[in-house]
Amino acid sequence: MSAPRWMRALSRRGAILLPHAGSHAVFAGPDRRRRPLARLTPAQMREAETKGWLARSGDGYTLSAAGHVARCHTNRSPMVQQCRLVERPVMRECGRIETVTANALEGPLGKWSGLLGPAECNAAERFLADYHRSSLTQRTTRNWSPTAPRRGEGARRGPDDATLGAIAAKDRVFRVLDALGPQLAKIVEAALIREESLAAMERRFGWGQRSGGTAVKLALGRLAEIYGSG
């Protein structure tokens, strides 16, 4: 079974979903005067919102990480590689944020796609987006030492060290990790930031064989709850 036409259209680079003629339609860009690539019925729009397939972008929507995964899962044709390409923000060493093309079914999200529901997938995508926007690439995990400063403590780095947006993103990452607590935060860091395999996590955390998936599901479920209440 192939993915809906609107979903295939929205996965194109630069495509955006905008209000149109009483419902919504997919356009190649922000210019609504051009003919839409695809139209959604109100029922399709409700389904997309309910299942977390859309991500807000200005006054419209783009396809979320969960949407890309859903499209690939329903489109098993030989051209499936095309639907795996998504754009993600990456912070370079100089501090500049650039958008790169990545495979939605590779990397941390793809690795755990079989365990994740739409809410968990969106939460993981938001966490990773903030992580890549922040200056945390130089330190990949939360310092859980009792003497380590918590968010908001100590001197704040100025704009010369990082952009204000990077500072805000780092604060959000630390706020989420603090809300998770040490144990679940370490699992999220291992799964999403360090991209460890399930077998490696089972060895490091002392889990039994084939029990790691349950722990990862629990941690990412809690991550989704935090973003849902935030």
pLDDT tens profile 160-179: 444 677 788 889 999 999 99
Per-chain mean pLDDT for the chain: 76
Distance CA 37, CA 33 (A): 12
**CA nearest neighbour of 121 among 221, 197, 230:** 221
* Number of other residues whose CB lies within 10 A of the CB of residue 159: 9
pTM: 0.51
pLDDT tens profile 71-123: 766 544 443 344 445 555 544 445 455 555 555 555 567 677 677 788 888 88
Strand partners, 97: 91
pLDDT band at residue 130 under the 50/70/90 scheme: confident
Which structure tokens are listed for 154? 């100590």
pLDDT tens profile 27-70: 998 888 889 999 999 999 999 998 888 988 888 899 887 787 77
pLDDT tens profile 189-203: 998 888 888 888 999
**CA nearest neighbour of 63 among 15, 99, 18:** 15
